[in-house]
Structure 1
């Protein structure tokens, strides 16, 4: 079995997701009061990050935890609606070339996977009419039908992406040399290096350097 693994931020979607999530929370008619709670939590860590006192990966993970924990006492239905509203706006702006690649992979019989640090409810809405076989993201914890703000989420980033993909693909035998992966970031390196056909999509400088050195395919961003 061949697989085609896609990242989301700046790959399938041409921008970073988190700034859009912040704006959506700030302007949402029902949940906007949660924005100040969230900002109070992330301000110290973001300041420390800018001063190079806080690792980037930890800053991103803690920011995601702070964001979702601001929804404490919110029902699963309302959380899903919140992310669906944002997702339906984002669906209109997907990278056309990456969508074409996704269709090409489906037509040739590849098993298609989306793996991202974005929250799963948002990814599920965005991909509900796209031909992905498997969608993996950061899980939102619930307890008794309400968000469990005490449970620490595990942000799917860096080497966790490939670990999560492997966990869900077992025990299938994968033709890794014939498989493809698409990503934009140096943190996607584990996934990109696992396949015989890595593709850098509008790569950030560190990944571009690797892609140029190894002569990987690089494709630009183009919105649908």
Structure 2
């Protein structure tokens, strides 16, 4: 095994899991009575713009963080742990887990990157065995969630900005990089890696991948979801 690893970058929603984690989260906290019923409808309306690449990420984060404003970190951590167990574990793609394990066995570093809040992404990345995660950072004051975000949002070109900053902080030089995503929103990230893979691609990404002769992987086939 080489001492110089590759970097494997995975998008989260619809790539590693058969769902959108933020949507599942909205449903989960609504079930717990922590969010109004119209929260789910508003979230679904906003997420529809994501598929078109026209989402207002600031507005989306304001809407989805509203129910946890004023919550302390410990309470949020417990709530997210329940969420990961009840909603995320059953939605994991077997092929995604196998691909992460393939990279780990080679000695590669695995990074999950997502345009979802860090409170959800980091525990899911840990569950998947990733080395680290990049997500939208939440502002906290004295351990209390304010409902605001901080820093560069890890969305579209912002993912590349955050990824490059993360790489610069590492004490190793990567031999090369792999990238996996389902969404046309992640075209900047896929263009930034050496070996891009279109996983469960939306129509726009599928077309682009075909034109660029990228490898297309479909992890959505029957019996591939952990139930």
Identify whether the pair has TM-score above 0.5, normalized to the shorter chain: yes
Report the equivalent of 1:20. Answer: 24
Counterpart check, 1:64 vs 2:61: yes
> Of 72, 77, 80, which residue of structure 1 is paired with 2:74?
77
Q: How many Å separate the matches in 2 of 1:102 and 1:215?
A: 23
Contact 2:26/2:40 (8 A) holds in 1: no
Report the equivalent of 1:207. Answer: 205
Q: How many Å separate the matches in 1 of 2:131 and 2:25?
A: 25
SS at match of 1:181: strand
Task: State the TM-score, normalizing by the size of structure 2.
Answer: 0.82
The C-alpha deviation readout for 1:92-131, integer Å capped at 9, x for no partner, is 3211112111111111111111001122222222233433
Pairs within 5 Å for 1:84-123: 84-89=81-86, 90-123=88-121
Counterpart check, 1:3 vs 2:7: yes
SS at match of 1:65: helix
> CA shift at 1:195, angstroms?
2.1
Contact 1:68/1:140 (8 A) holds in 2: no
Contact 2:27/2:40 (8 A) holds in 1: no
More strand by share: 2
Q: Spell out structure 1 runs of 4+ moving beyond 6 A.
A: none
Residues 72 and 159 of structure 1: CA distance in aligned 2, closer, same or farther (over 3 Å): same
Report the equivalent of 1:174. Answer: 174
The C-alpha deviation readout for 1:135-189, integer Å capped at 9, x for no partner, is 111122211121123x34554211111111111111543333xx21100001111
Report the equivalent of 2:218. Answer: 220
> CA shift at 1:78, angstroms?
1.4
Structure 2: gaps spanning 5 or more residues: none
RMSD across aligned positions (CA): 2.6
Q: How many Å separate the matches in 2 of 1:156 and 1:112?
A: 17
> Of 142, 145, 158, which residue of structure 2 is paired with 1:160?
158
Structure 1: gaps spanning 5 or more residues: none
Instruction: Kindly tell me the number of residue pairs found equivalent between the two proteins.
Output: 211
Contact 1:199/1:217 (8 A) holds in 2: yes
